[in-house]
Protein backbone atom coordinates (compact mmCIF):
# COMPACT_ATOMS: atom_id res chain seq x y z
CA UNK A 1 0.00 0.00 0.00
CA UNK A 2 1.30 3.43 -0.91
CA UNK A 3 1.49 6.28 1.58
CA UNK A 4 -1.27 8.40 0.01
CA UNK A 5 -3.79 5.56 0.10
CA UNK A 6 -3.02 4.77 3.75
CA UNK A 7 -3.44 8.45 4.65
CA UNK A 8 -6.85 8.42 2.97
CA UNK A 9 -7.91 5.29 4.82
CA UNK A 10 -6.72 6.76 8.12
CA UNK A 11 -8.76 9.91 7.52
CA UNK A 12 -11.83 7.88 6.59
CA UNK A 13 -11.41 5.67 9.68
CA UNK A 14 -10.69 8.28 12.33
CA UNK A 15 -12.24 11.45 10.94
CA UNK A 16 -8.95 13.33 11.02
CA UNK A 17 -5.78 13.33 8.96
CA UNK A 18 -2.69 11.59 10.36
CA UNK A 19 -0.02 13.80 11.85
CA UNK A 20 2.88 11.61 10.75
CA UNK A 21 3.67 8.52 8.66
CA UNK A 22 6.50 6.06 9.33
CA UNK A 23 7.93 2.96 7.66
CA UNK A 24 9.85 0.01 9.06
CA UNK A 25 11.11 -2.88 6.90
CA UNK A 26 11.14 -6.58 7.47
CA UNK A 27 14.41 -8.45 7.27
CA UNK A 28 16.03 -11.56 5.95
CA UNK A 29 19.07 -13.12 7.52
CA UNK A 30 21.52 -13.98 4.79
CA UNK A 31 23.42 -16.39 7.07
CA UNK A 32 23.89 -17.00 10.79
CA UNK A 33 20.72 -18.66 12.04
CA UNK A 34 19.87 -19.27 15.73
CA UNK A 35 23.07 -17.44 16.57
CA UNK A 36 21.74 -14.19 17.98
CA UNK A 37 20.73 -15.63 21.36
CA UNK A 38 24.06 -17.45 21.51
CA UNK A 39 26.16 -14.28 21.33
CA UNK A 40 27.58 -14.80 17.86
CA UNK A 41 27.77 -13.22 14.42
CA UNK A 42 24.79 -12.79 12.12
CA UNK A 43 24.38 -11.21 8.70
CA UNK A 44 20.89 -9.78 8.27
CA UNK A 45 19.68 -7.10 5.91
CA UNK A 46 16.57 -4.96 5.77
CA UNK A 47 14.26 -5.64 2.83
CA UNK A 48 11.87 -3.45 0.87
CA UNK A 49 8.83 -5.31 2.21
CA UNK A 50 7.71 -3.71 5.44
CA UNK A 51 5.10 -1.93 7.55
CA UNK A 52 3.60 1.55 7.29
CA UNK A 53 2.10 3.41 10.24
CA UNK A 54 -0.08 6.52 10.28
CA UNK A 55 -0.76 8.11 13.65
CA UNK A 56 -2.40 11.12 15.23
CA UNK A 57 -3.08 12.11 18.84
CA UNK A 58 -6.66 12.02 20.11
CA UNK A 59 -8.41 13.78 23.00
CA UNK A 60 -10.30 10.73 24.28
CA UNK A 61 -7.35 9.36 26.29
CA UNK A 62 -7.40 6.03 24.49
CA UNK A 63 -5.09 4.07 22.19
CA UNK A 64 -6.93 2.90 19.09
CA UNK A 65 -5.25 0.09 17.18
CA UNK A 66 -6.37 -0.80 13.67
CA UNK A 67 -4.59 -2.66 10.88
CA UNK A 68 -5.47 -3.30 7.28
CA UNK A 69 -3.93 -6.76 7.66
CA UNK A 70 -5.99 -8.03 10.61
CA UNK A 71 -9.66 -8.00 11.48
CA UNK A 72 -8.97 -7.53 15.20
CA UNK A 73 -8.92 -3.95 16.48
CA UNK A 74 -8.84 -2.46 19.95
CA UNK A 75 -9.65 0.69 21.89
CA UNK A 76 -7.62 0.66 25.10
CA UNK A 77 -7.83 3.42 27.74
CA UNK A 78 -4.66 5.21 28.80
CA UNK A 79 -3.27 3.78 32.03
CA UNK A 80 0.04 3.38 33.85
CA UNK A 81 0.84 -0.11 32.58
CA UNK A 82 -0.52 -2.93 30.47
CA UNK A 83 -0.43 -6.72 30.22
CA UNK A 84 -0.69 -8.93 27.17
CA UNK A 85 -4.25 -9.42 25.96
CA UNK A 86 -4.60 -12.87 24.35
CA UNK A 87 -2.78 -13.46 21.07
CA UNK A 88 -3.97 -10.53 18.98
CA UNK A 89 -1.53 -8.55 16.83
CA UNK A 90 -2.01 -5.29 18.75
CA UNK A 91 -0.11 -6.76 21.71
CA UNK A 92 3.08 -5.76 19.86
CA UNK A 93 2.44 -2.00 19.82
CA UNK A 94 0.72 -2.23 23.22
CA UNK A 95 3.85 -3.86 24.66
CA UNK A 96 5.97 -1.03 23.26
CA UNK A 97 3.72 1.56 24.89
CA UNK A 98 3.88 -0.35 28.17
CA UNK A 99 7.68 -0.31 28.06
CA UNK A 100 7.96 3.36 27.08
CA UNK A 101 5.72 4.31 30.01
CA UNK A 102 8.31 3.01 32.45
CA UNK A 103 10.62 5.92 31.66
CA UNK A 104 8.65 8.43 29.61
CA UNK A 105 5.33 10.23 29.66
CA UNK A 106 2.85 9.70 26.84
CA UNK A 107 0.57 12.68 27.49
CA UNK A 108 -2.25 11.91 25.05
CA UNK A 109 -3.99 8.99 23.45
CA UNK A 110 -3.18 8.01 19.87
CA UNK A 111 -4.99 6.66 16.85
CA UNK A 112 -2.88 4.11 14.95
CA UNK A 113 -3.40 2.58 11.51
CA UNK A 114 -0.90 -0.07 10.39
CA UNK A 115 -0.54 -1.62 6.95
CA UNK A 116 2.16 -4.06 5.88
CA UNK A 117 3.14 -6.25 2.95
CA UNK A 118 5.29 -8.66 4.97
CA UNK A 119 3.56 -12.06 4.80
CA UNK A 120 2.39 -12.80 8.35
CA UNK A 121 4.08 -15.78 9.99
CA UNK A 122 6.66 -15.95 7.20
CA UNK A 123 9.80 -15.48 9.28
CA UNK A 124 10.56 -12.05 7.77
CA UNK A 125 10.18 -10.31 11.13
CA UNK A 126 6.77 -8.71 10.88
CA UNK A 127 6.68 -8.58 14.69
CA UNK A 128 10.03 -6.77 14.99
CA UNK A 129 8.91 -4.42 12.23
CA UNK A 130 5.77 -3.46 14.19
CA UNK A 131 7.67 -3.13 17.48
CA UNK A 132 10.47 -0.93 16.18
CA UNK A 133 8.05 1.06 14.03
CA UNK A 134 5.80 1.86 17.01
CA UNK A 135 8.73 2.74 19.27
CA UNK A 136 10.41 4.93 16.65
CA UNK A 137 7.16 6.67 15.68
CA UNK A 138 6.18 7.56 19.25
CA UNK A 139 9.72 8.62 20.17
CA UNK A 140 9.95 10.81 17.08
CA UNK A 141 6.50 12.35 17.39
CA UNK A 142 6.84 13.05 21.13
CA UNK A 143 10.52 14.13 20.87
CA UNK A 144 11.54 11.59 23.49
CA UNK A 145 15.19 11.61 24.51
CA UNK A 146 15.94 8.06 23.39
CA UNK A 147 18.38 6.91 20.71
CA UNK A 148 17.79 4.23 18.10
CA UNK A 149 19.86 1.57 19.86
CA UNK A 150 17.79 2.04 23.01
CA UNK A 151 14.64 1.64 20.92
CA UNK A 152 16.05 -1.61 19.55
CA UNK A 153 16.76 -2.91 23.06
CA UNK A 154 13.32 -1.82 24.22
CA UNK A 155 11.67 -3.66 21.33
CA UNK A 156 13.61 -6.83 22.08
CA UNK A 157 12.54 -6.59 25.72
CA UNK A 158 8.92 -6.39 24.57
CA UNK A 159 9.36 -9.50 22.42
CA UNK A 160 10.95 -11.43 25.29
CA UNK A 161 8.93 -10.29 28.26
CA UNK A 162 5.59 -8.98 26.99
CA UNK A 163 5.05 -11.37 24.07
CA UNK A 164 6.96 -14.29 25.60
CA UNK A 165 9.44 -15.29 22.88
CA UNK A 166 13.06 -15.79 24.02
CA UNK A 167 14.56 -14.38 20.83
CA UNK A 168 17.79 -12.48 20.38
CA UNK A 169 18.27 -8.92 19.18
CA UNK A 170 19.03 -9.51 15.50
CA UNK A 171 15.58 -8.83 14.07
CA UNK A 172 15.02 -5.52 15.83
CA UNK A 173 18.58 -4.44 15.08
CA UNK A 174 18.32 -5.22 11.37
CA UNK A 175 15.03 -3.39 10.78
CA UNK A 176 16.30 -0.34 12.67
CA UNK A 177 19.84 0.00 11.29
CA UNK A 178 19.56 -1.52 7.81
CA UNK A 179 21.07 0.36 4.87
CA UNK A 180 20.26 0.10 1.19
CA UNK A 181 22.41 -2.46 -0.67
CA UNK A 182 24.25 -3.37 2.55
CA UNK A 183 24.28 -6.48 4.68
CA UNK A 184 25.01 -6.06 8.36
CA UNK A 185 27.70 -8.04 10.17
CA UNK A 186 26.44 -7.87 13.74
CA UNK A 187 28.05 -9.25 16.88
CA UNK A 188 25.03 -10.12 19.00
CA UNK A 189 27.09 -10.17 22.21
CA UNK A 190 28.76 -6.76 21.98
CA UNK A 191 26.29 -5.20 19.46
CA UNK A 192 29.27 -4.01 17.43
CA UNK A 193 28.37 -4.02 13.76
CA UNK A 194 29.61 -2.94 10.39
CA UNK A 195 27.91 -2.67 7.04
CA UNK A 196 29.11 -5.04 4.32
CA UNK A 197 28.65 -4.21 0.64
CA UNK A 198 26.15 -6.65 -0.78
CA UNK A 199 26.63 -6.30 -4.49
CA UNK A 200 25.09 -9.35 -6.08
CA UNK A 201 25.64 -8.33 -9.69
CA UNK A 202 23.71 -10.49 -12.14
CA UNK A 203 21.72 -12.13 -9.32
CA UNK A 204 18.49 -11.24 -7.51
CA UNK A 205 17.65 -11.91 -3.89
CA UNK A 206 14.53 -14.08 -4.03
CA UNK A 207 12.28 -14.88 -1.06
CA UNK A 208 10.17 -18.04 -1.25
CA UNK A 209 7.36 -18.30 1.26
CA UNK A 210 6.35 -21.86 2.19
CA UNK A 211 2.92 -20.56 3.24
CA UNK A 212 3.23 -22.73 6.32
CA UNK A 213 2.54 -20.21 9.11
CA UNK A 214 4.57 -20.20 12.30
CA UNK A 215 3.68 -19.11 15.78
CA UNK A 216 7.11 -18.93 17.32
CA UNK A 217 6.05 -18.36 20.90
CA UNK A 218 4.24 -21.70 20.72
CA UNK A 219 6.78 -23.54 18.61
CA UNK A 220 9.97 -25.30 19.58
CA UNK A 221 11.93 -22.04 19.42
CA UNK A 222 12.08 -21.67 23.18
CA UNK A 223 13.05 -25.34 23.40
CA UNK A 224 16.10 -24.69 21.21
CA UNK A 225 17.08 -21.79 23.43
CA UNK A 226 16.91 -24.11 26.45
CA UNK A 227 19.02 -26.75 24.68
CA UNK A 228 21.73 -24.16 23.98
CA UNK A 229 21.64 -23.10 27.62
CA UNK A 230 22.13 -26.76 28.58
CA UNK A 231 25.14 -27.01 26.27
CA UNK A 232 26.64 -23.87 27.78
CA UNK A 233 26.15 -25.23 31.31
CA UNK A 234 27.86 -28.48 30.38
CA UNK A 235 30.86 -26.71 28.83
CA UNK A 236 31.17 -24.46 31.86
CA UNK A 237 32.05 -27.49 33.97
CA UNK A 238 35.55 -27.13 32.53
CA UNK A 239 35.85 -23.68 30.96
CA UNK A 240 34.17 -20.32 31.55
CA UNK A 241 31.93 -19.05 28.77
CA UNK A 242 29.25 -16.40 28.66
CA UNK A 243 28.01 -17.57 25.27
CA UNK A 244 28.47 -20.62 23.07
CA UNK A 245 29.87 -18.49 20.25
CA UNK A 246 32.95 -17.60 22.28
CA UNK A 247 34.27 -20.93 20.98
CA UNK A 248 35.32 -21.65 17.42
CA UNK A 249 35.11 -25.15 15.94
CA UNK A 250 38.69 -26.06 16.89
CA UNK A 251 38.29 -25.11 20.56
CA UNK A 252 34.84 -26.67 20.70
CA UNK A 253 36.30 -30.01 19.61
CA UNK A 254 38.56 -29.98 22.67
CA UNK A 255 35.64 -29.64 25.10
CA UNK A 256 32.61 -31.13 23.33
CA UNK A 257 32.97 -34.37 25.34
CA UNK A 258 31.44 -32.48 28.27
CA UNK A 259 28.08 -32.47 26.46
CA UNK A 260 26.76 -35.98 27.02
CA UNK A 261 23.26 -35.49 25.66
CA UNK A 262 23.36 -36.31 21.93
CA UNK A 263 20.61 -33.84 20.99
CA UNK A 264 22.18 -31.00 22.95
CA UNK A 265 25.55 -31.78 21.29
CA UNK A 266 23.95 -31.50 17.85
CA UNK A 267 22.48 -28.12 18.72
CA UNK A 268 25.79 -26.77 20.00
CA UNK A 269 27.68 -28.13 16.98
CA UNK A 270 25.38 -26.22 14.65
CA UNK A 271 25.82 -23.00 16.61
CA UNK A 272 29.62 -23.16 16.64
CA UNK A 273 29.94 -24.07 12.96
CA UNK A 274 27.29 -21.58 11.84
CA UNK A 275 29.07 -18.78 13.68
CA UNK A 276 32.28 -19.65 11.84
CA UNK A 277 30.38 -19.68 8.53
CA UNK A 278 29.24 -16.08 9.04
CA UNK A 279 32.82 -14.85 9.24
CA UNK A 280 33.67 -16.76 6.06
CA UNK A 281 30.58 -15.40 4.34
CA UNK A 282 31.56 -11.81 5.12
CA UNK A 283 34.98 -12.42 3.56
CA UNK A 284 33.34 -13.96 0.49
CA UNK A 285 31.01 -10.97 0.01
CA UNK A 286 33.86 -8.49 0.46
CA UNK A 287 35.82 -10.37 -2.19
CA UNK A 288 32.81 -10.50 -4.54
CA UNK A 289 32.92 -14.30 -4.43
CA UNK A 290 29.24 -15.20 -4.78
CA UNK A 291 30.01 -18.84 -5.54
CA UNK A 292 31.65 -19.26 -2.12
CA UNK A 293 28.88 -17.29 -0.46
CA UNK A 294 26.31 -19.57 -2.09
CA UNK A 295 28.17 -22.68 -0.95
CA UNK A 296 28.06 -21.39 2.62
CA UNK A 297 24.31 -20.73 2.30
CA UNK A 298 23.67 -24.34 1.31
CA UNK A 299 25.93 -25.58 4.13
CA UNK A 300 24.01 -23.43 6.59
CA UNK A 301 20.70 -24.96 5.54
CA UNK A 302 22.09 -28.48 5.78
CA UNK A 303 23.15 -27.78 9.37
CA UNK A 304 19.78 -26.27 10.27
CA UNK A 305 18.06 -29.29 8.77
CA UNK A 306 20.16 -32.05 10.30
CA UNK A 307 21.79 -30.64 13.45
CA UNK A 308 19.39 -27.95 14.65
CA UNK A 309 16.29 -29.60 13.19
CA UNK A 310 14.27 -26.45 12.60
CA UNK A 311 13.57 -26.56 8.88
CA UNK A 312 10.85 -29.09 8.00
CA UNK A 313 9.59 -30.71 4.82
CA UNK A 314 8.41 -27.49 3.22
CA UNK A 315 11.66 -25.55 3.57
CA UNK A 316 13.75 -28.60 2.69
CA UNK A 317 11.73 -29.09 -0.51
CA UNK A 318 12.43 -25.51 -1.60
CA UNK A 319 16.16 -25.67 -0.87
CA UNK A 320 16.51 -29.10 -2.50
CA UNK A 321 14.97 -27.70 -5.68
CA UNK A 322 17.38 -24.75 -5.57
CA UNK A 323 20.37 -27.05 -5.09
CA UNK A 324 19.51 -28.83 -8.34
CA UNK A 325 18.63 -25.75 -10.39
CA UNK A 326 21.52 -24.39 -12.44
CA UNK A 327 20.47 -20.76 -12.11
CA UNK A 328 20.68 -20.72 -8.30
CA UNK A 329 24.01 -19.90 -6.67
CA UNK A 330 22.92 -20.39 -3.05
CA UNK A 331 19.80 -20.98 -0.96
CA UNK A 332 18.78 -21.62 2.63
CA UNK A 333 15.94 -21.23 5.06
CA UNK A 334 15.92 -17.82 6.73
CA UNK A 335 14.56 -16.87 10.11
CA UNK A 336 13.80 -19.25 12.93
CA UNK A 337 12.36 -21.98 10.72
CA UNK A 338 9.39 -24.21 11.56
CA UNK A 339 7.87 -22.94 8.30
CA UNK A 340 8.30 -19.42 7.01
CA UNK A 341 10.63 -18.56 4.14
CA UNK A 342 13.69 -19.62 2.23
CA UNK A 343 15.95 -17.23 0.33
CA UNK A 344 17.87 -17.84 -2.86
CA UNK A 345 20.43 -16.02 -5.00
CA UNK A 346 19.05 -16.52 -8.50
CA UNK A 347 20.62 -15.38 -11.75
CA UNK A 348 18.49 -12.68 -13.33
CA UNK A 349 18.36 -14.46 -16.67
CA UNK A 350 16.74 -17.48 -14.97
CA UNK A 351 14.13 -15.70 -12.84
CA UNK A 352 11.00 -16.36 -14.88
CA UNK A 353 11.82 -20.03 -15.45
CA UNK A 354 12.88 -20.46 -11.83
CA UNK A 355 9.62 -19.09 -10.47
CA UNK A 356 7.47 -21.28 -12.68
CA UNK A 357 9.40 -24.45 -11.93
CA UNK A 358 9.86 -24.06 -8.16
CA UNK A 359 6.15 -23.31 -7.77
CA UNK A 360 5.21 -26.40 -9.75
CA UNK A 361 7.67 -28.61 -7.88
CA UNK A 362 6.49 -27.38 -4.48
CA UNK A 363 2.81 -27.76 -5.33
CA UNK A 364 3.36 -31.29 -6.58
CA UNK A 365 5.35 -32.37 -3.51
CA UNK A 366 3.66 -30.41 -0.70
CA UNK A 367 0.12 -30.11 -2.00
CA UNK A 368 -0.35 -26.35 -1.75
CA UNK A 369 1.31 -23.32 -3.31
CA UNK A 370 4.37 -21.36 -2.29
CA UNK A 371 4.86 -17.68 -3.12
CA UNK A 372 7.92 -16.08 -4.70
CA UNK A 373 8.99 -12.49 -4.05
CA UNK A 374 11.82 -10.43 -5.49
CA UNK A 375 13.21 -8.05 -2.88
CA UNK A 376 15.90 -5.44 -2.81
CA UNK A 377 17.97 -4.70 0.27
CA UNK A 378 16.42 -1.59 1.76
CA UNK A 379 16.80 0.98 4.53
CA UNK A 380 15.82 0.82 8.17
CA UNK A 381 13.00 2.52 10.08
CA UNK A 382 12.26 6.11 9.11
CA UNK A 383 9.65 8.84 8.82
CA UNK A 384 8.30 9.17 5.29
Catalytic residues, by residue number, are: 171
Q: In whole angstroms, what is the distance from residue 258 CA to residue 29 CA?
A: 31
Length of the chain: 384
Query: Any bridge partners for residue 54, and if so which?
Result: 21, 113
- The residues, any chain, with a CB within 8 Å of residue 210's CB and separated by 6 or more, are 314, 315, 318, 339, 340, 341, 342, 362, 366, 370
Q: In whole angstroms, what is the distance from residue 123 CA to residue 227 CA?
A: 21
- Asked whether the beta carbons of 41 and 186 are under 8 A apart, the reply is yes
How buried is 81 (Cβ within 10 angstroms: 0-12 exposed, 13-18 middle, 19+ buried)? exposed
- Asked whether the beta carbons of 39 and 94 are under 8 A apart, the reply is no
Burial 260-297 (b: 16+ CB within 10 A, else e): eeeebbbbbbbbbbbbbbbeebbebbeeeebebbbbbb
Amino acid sequence: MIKTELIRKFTDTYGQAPQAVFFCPGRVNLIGEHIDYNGGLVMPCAITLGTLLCLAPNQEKVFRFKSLNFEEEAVIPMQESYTKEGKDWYNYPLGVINELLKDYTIPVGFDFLFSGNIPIGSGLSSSASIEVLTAYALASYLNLDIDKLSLVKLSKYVENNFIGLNSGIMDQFAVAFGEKAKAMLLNCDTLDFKQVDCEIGDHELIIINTNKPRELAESKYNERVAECEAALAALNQEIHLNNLCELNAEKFALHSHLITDETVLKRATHVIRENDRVGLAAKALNAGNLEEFGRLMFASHDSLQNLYEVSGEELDTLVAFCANYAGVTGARMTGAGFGGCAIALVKKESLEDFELKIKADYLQKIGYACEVYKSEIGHGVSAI
